[in-house]
């Protein structure tokens, strides 16, 4: 490894420490109550060191949000692609994306809290983040629109259905992330699957479980 590569890796490691510390403080104390000095104290750096990597607290938040949105979208796109590659129809792809939403929340609860519960983008808007925060819903809406068209449910309102499905999956994810000590059912994955299946069947009817799902052993 060259000295330049080694230096770049060190820079990325330091930036990650700063971002991780800031994320934890934003959640525990609230964004408005966190300063560069507090972040520095948490990782035992001087404030000057942090300013070498980030202009101010807003720059840290901006980096955090962009990183979080990118990871979130990777979860959704990967789930959609995997479902399609397995031969799942559009409704199965929709199920897979909804599961991925919850999986992201449970595996990256800090990002989920900041993005979807604390909604820091609303408090500190960044123009280049605004489109990112909508892409997840746009993916969901596209799948719903395709499903409605394929199943001939032309009287349905795809936008309304998309918002209903998002509200349902956001609700269960937020509860699981926020109330971790609640006596949830032992099989949380089954709990999430049941909620998704209930919502989808409510919209598309029992035909939502296709022969293809059964053949592939898809839940």
pLDDT of 124-135, one tens digit each?
Answer: 556 666 667 789
Classify 64-216 by CATH class: mainly alpha
Q: How confident is the model at residue 173 (pLDDT cuts 50, 70, 90)?
A: very high
**Is residue 5 pLDDT above 80, yes or no?**
no
pLDDT value at residue 210:
47
Which carries the bigger pLDDT value, residue 94 or residue 211?
A: 94
For CATH 1.10.357.10, the residue range(s) in the chain are 64-216
The string of pLDDT tens digits covering residues 71-106 is 999 999 999 999 999 998 999 999 999 999 999 999
% of the chain with per-residue pLDDT over 70: 86
Instruction: Compute the average pLDDT of residues 145-168.
Output: 86
pLDDT value at residue 20:
92
Supply 171's token pair. Answer: 């609700």
Task: Please tell me which of 133-147, 162-176, 194-208 the model is most confident about, judged by mean pLDDT.
Answer: 162-176
User: Alpha-carbon torsion 82, 138, 112, 191, what sign?
Assistant: negative
The number of angstroms, rounded, from the C-alpha of 165 to the middle of its chain's C-alpha atoms is 15
**What is d(CA 120, CA 20) in angstroms, rounded to the nearest whole number?**
16
For CATH 1.10.10.60, the residue range(s) in the chain are 1-54
Which carries the bigger pLDDT value, residue 43 or residue 219?
A: 43
pTM for the structure as a whole:
0.84
Q: Please name which of 68, 52, 63 lies closest in space to residue 19, comparing C-alpha atoms.
A: 63
Could you tell me which CATH number the domain at 1-54 has? Answer: 1.10.10.60
**Is residue 207 pLDDT above 90, yes or no?**
no
Which carries the bigger pLDDT value, residue 141 or residue 116?
A: 141
CA atoms within 13 A on the CB side of 180: 6
């Amino acid at each position: 490894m060259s000295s330049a590569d080694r230096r770049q890796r060190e820079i990325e490691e330091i930036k990650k420490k700063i971002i991780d510390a800031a994320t934890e403080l934003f959640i525990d104390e609230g964004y408005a109550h966190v300063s560069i000095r507090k972040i520095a104290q948490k990782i035992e750096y001087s404030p000057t060191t942090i300013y070498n990597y980030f202009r101010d607290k807003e720059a840290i938040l901006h980096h955090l949000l962009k990183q979080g949105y990118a990871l979130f979208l990777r979860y959704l796109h990967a789930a959609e692609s995997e479902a399609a590659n397995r031969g799942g129809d559009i409704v199965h792809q929709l199920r897979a994306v909804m599961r991925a939403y919850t999986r992201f929340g449970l595996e990256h609860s800090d990002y989920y809290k900041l993005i979807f519960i604390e909604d820091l983008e609303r408090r500190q808007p960044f123009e280049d983040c605004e489109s990112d925060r909508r892409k997840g819903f746009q993916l969901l809406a596209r799948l719903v629109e395709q499903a409605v068209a394929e199943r001939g449910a032309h009287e349905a309102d795809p936008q309304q259905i998309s918002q209903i499905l998002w509200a349902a999956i956001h609700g269960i994810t937020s509860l699981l992330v926020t109330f971790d000590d609640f006596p949830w059912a032992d099989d949380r994955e089954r709990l999430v699957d049941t909620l998704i299946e209930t919502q989808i069947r409510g919209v598309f009817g029992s035909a939502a479980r296709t022969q293809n799902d059964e053949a592939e052993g898809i839940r």
